[in-house]
Amino acid sequence: MAHRATKPSRGTTQKGSGAPGSTRAPGHGRARVTSVMLYAVLVVFAIAFVFPFWFMAVGAFQVNTTSSPSDLFPTGGWTLQNFTDINSRLNLLRSLLNSLVFTVGVLAGTLTFGLAAGYSLSRLQWRGRGVLFAIMLGVQAIPFQLLMIPLYVQVTRIYGLGDSYLGMILPFLINTTAVFIFRQFFLSLPELLFEAARIDGASELRILFSIAVPMVKPAIATVALITFIGPWNEFLWPFLITKDASLQPLAVSLANYISNVSRTASNPNGAILAGAATLAFPVVLLFVFFQRYFRASDISSGVKG
């Protein structure tokens, strides 16, 4: 009588099969060591990156700030006197307000003109579009310092905008880098969306603000952060255009303080670091709020299959 073939039980593992119970490949250990080494290198670079901010934050609140290694891990002596000392020589709130007005004005102009110009260069058909885009790229290669003296003469003598917020903002209203970023993002959007909107009778402005802008939020966040950092830390042009101390941004006021009266403070280094911390804090805060937008936009979701 023939014996029936018995099926292997579910718990048994056949030799040579790729079951979970089989021995791991030798390459797995090497990959794990490589990952550990990679993370170690990243940690070292992260510490090197954070070190200046840690030194600034610690020194701004220390009673006696020097350049010794002991400043990195203080055990006591915390104070707000450094902020009081620098505020007694320059009005921190007023300087911060000047920086905010200057930066918001530049940001508003950059986003308004950048979105309009980027959309025009990418989605509208008109003669000379390519030539204008090439000229715009050429302008990016010209350092701003070469244009500063002609701009100063034009803004102060022709327009009479010296010692004014508008005089500080005017040369930065149009940012060619922002136009380039917006143009590239608009080119990546599906053409079917724009054709369908035009068929429905939507105007170009309606298409821009209702369809295109919501789909390029990562680009807007990138341009906003880059634009904010630029004028917020800008020193040379505001220093050149403003002689009235009550209109100078914090970067200019802080530089004047370091050059003229910082040594009269009880803790000169601490006062300087307190001013630097005040200048850097808004930028860090802005990046924390906007970092979630730094991801690829899901532009394909706008097109139905």
Which domains are seen in the chain, by residue range? 94-250 (1.10.3720.10)
d(CA 265, CA 285): 28
Band the pLDDT of 92: cuts 50, 70, 90.
confident
d(CA 213, CA 64): 50
What pLDDT does 41 receive?
A: 92
Question: How many secondary structure helices (H) and strands (E) does the chain include?
Answer: 14, 0
Mean pLDDT of the region 68-80? 63
Q: What is the pLDDT of residues 6-49, one digit of tens each?
A: 555 454 444 444 445 445 555 677 888 888 899 999 999 988 88
Q: What is the pLDDT of residues 161-216, one digit of tens each?
A: 989 999 999 999 988 889 999 999 999 888 888 889 889 888 888 998 888 888 88
Note whether 174 and 135 are within 8 A (CB). no
Mean pLDDT of the region 61-86? 70
What pLDDT does 136 receive?
A: 86
d(CA 161, CA 21): 78
d(CA 176, CA 136): 6
Nearest residue to 113 (alpha-carbon basis) of 170, 72, 64: 170
In which residue are the tokens 């079951």 written?
19
